Structure 1
């Protein structure tokens, strides 16, 4: 919900417990949840000694994503000010991985690249984000 304090300024209602997922914040929450599940599956069920080449790069990217996402969710639920910076790092790493896919000849996922860029801009510019993550 949003309330207007005057004609130019919006005041977002961020007191309720679900404010961390309200509005557009639900989309990156779902995207990062799938990223967390994918990283968990990769780290738990894949033996890195059986990987080579770019598959090994993907495995180690998931090894990096896993603690980042755990910390990200902790800061998300605690409404920490650092959370937007962490999620920007996550989406920046996603962009880097997407570009690496292209460099190694696997093609580029334009939608994933565009969405990661949009989320970085959103977390930098959003007033809702600034009002929600205040601790």
Structure 2
């Protein structure tokens, strides 16, 4: 893997298949691929808790090059295009209306992802995201 974008989800490490146990297990070594974590309010507030997301903290020593950004006012589905096509359905599914403009959110998210991949995969530009958008 050369670069990874993780959108609003816990990320622990690389998973590898172990034939002995017939299952996927976490590789117990540092993760060297550049990683961009993108979070809504729902997940951002969990980073300081003992939830599954605790592994995503920016200071996790298993990640050599990790970036974390937060879309303030976003809910889980704000980081998808559903609010653009069905705002009512997205509000119902996420149990409330997000307090972020859906166009600003998805357009900024797309620009960040493109800039991240351009920098990390093509060597174009410099990736220095803000922590909060």
Q: Shorter-chain-normalised TM-score: which range? A: 0.3 to 0.5
Question: Whose strand fraction is larger, Structure 1's or Structure 2's?
Answer: 2
TM-score, scaled to structure 1 = 0.32
Given the two structures, how large is their TM-score scaled by the length of structure 2?
A: 0.33
Higher share of residues assigned helix: 1
Larger Rg: 1
